[in-house]
Chain A
Amino acid sequence: MKPLLLGVDSLSYSSFMKCSPKFLMMLFGSTFRGVVVNRSPQHPASSWMKVLQMEVEEKNFLTKLDEAPKLLKDTGAVAVNLPITNPTYGELRLNYFDGLSAEEEVNKVVEAILNEIDDQPVVADITLLDRLLHKSSQNKCSLYKIVDDTVKKLINKVDEFILFSPYGEPKSDKMCDHEDYGVYLASEPRPNEHDVVKLEEIGLLFKKIVKGY
């Protein structure tokens, strides 16, 4: 099994106590953890671009990319559903604004990851929390349950992983308005564990897991 870099946009420690996602709580207690800090702009595309080590800071979705982001080139990883373009970027491309249900998205993402992970590293994203919590937070804990079950399914299939969110939960219906703090849980330790995790650092940490340097 190859390493997995899995983003879950808008996943937030602030709902861990309220929603008690069992598997995520277990990971919280048993893996290397940190806090991702991302102050504005908190657009999915600009945040993910930082992870993928692109120099430009886009404030909106791109229509297309001329070449693969640096992290994907450096690690030979396959992209799945990355929200840097709309439709999303990678082997699995979903329209961000199509109103795709939570279940539909995770089923497609899980299938795409499991199709690739035996052969190469995968960088993938789940956008459902971000997309749906911007509209309403009423079903938050049931969405957390879907994410929890999905993460369990995926993490149990890989040996090395980084699970992160590029920012916390939406604070309003505005696309770039989120909590400043995201989640970071990983199978490998990182240097300076008492420092917050920067988005650019996540790409470097994944590269180190894949290539060893």
Chain B
Amino acid sequence: MSGDYDPELEKILMNKFKQIVSNKDTMQEEKKGSGEVAHLDKLNFDQFIKSHGVVVVDFWAEWCAPCLMLAPIMEELAKDYPNVAFGKVNSDENQEISARYGVMSLPTILFFKNGEPVDEVIGAVPREEIEIRIKQLLE
């Protein structure tokens, strides 16, 4: 009896297999960046940081001119490093998040690895200064 073909069991096993493969794809998708800079706030910040391996977050504000100078560099890097997740936090609208990480001046870029802050850059710096840190975190 145990060696007999059971179509019902086969169907259940196949569905389970498909579900496992689908979950794995979703998890891998979450760990990759989207090629865009995500807008983060108190509702999605923690989940974003936790669900990606390497994360770069730009803290900015509307009134901050150097922040606007930096923004296109972040967008370029997001496209060039699809395996890194990029986000931006409007510091005025999300003061809790800024306070949690001690962001005192703008722009500040925080680098996270496995959910933990590991590095930071303050000010509108050239692309190379951000890129070198990303490369170190990806090693």
Contact = CB atoms under 8 A, between A and B. Distances in A.
Contacts of A33: 65
A35 B69 contact: no
Given A17-B124, A17-B126, A34 B63 contact: yes
Interface string B118-139: 0000001011000000000000
A32 to B, nearest CB: 11
The range of chain A's interface size is 10 to 19
A13 B68 contact: yes
Interface string B56-82: 000000111110111111000000000
B65 A13 contact: yes
B72 A35 contact: no
A28 B64 CA distance: 12
A164 to B, nearest CB: 12
Contacts of A15: 72
A58 B92 CA distance: 32
Interface in A114-170: none
Interface string A158-187: 000000000000000000000001010000
A16 B68 CA distance: 9
A37 B73 CA distance: 21
A15 to B, nearest CB: 8
Contacts, number: 36
Nearest to B125: A17
Contacts of B126: 17
Nearest to B75: A14
A194 interface: yes
A14 B62 contact: no
Contacts of B68: 12-14, 35, 181
A196 B92 CA distance: 12
Interface residues of B, number: 14
A211 interface: no
A14 B63 contact: no
A35 B71 contact: no
A180 B65 CA distance: 13
Contacts of A196: 62-63
Interface in A1-59: 12-18, 28, 33-35, 37
B88 to A, nearest CB: 14
A148 to B, nearest CB: 15
A33 B64 CA distance: 9
A37 B65 CA distance: 11
A74 interface: no
B119 to A, nearest CB: 21
Contact of A28 (B65, B73, B127): B65
9 closest A-B pairs by beta carbon, nearest first, are A13-B68, A13-B69, A16-B69, A196-B63, A14-B72, A17-B69, A33-B65, A196-B62, A35-B65
9 contacts: A13-B66, A14-B72, A17-B70, A17-B73, A17-B124, A18-B72, A33-B65, A35-B62, A35-B64
Interface of A: 12-18, 28, 33-35, 37, 181, 183, 194-196
Given A34-B65, A196-B63, 11 more contacts: A13-B66, A14-B68, A14-B69, A17-B72, A17-B124, A17-B126, A17-B127, A18-B72, A35-B62, A35-B68, A194-B63
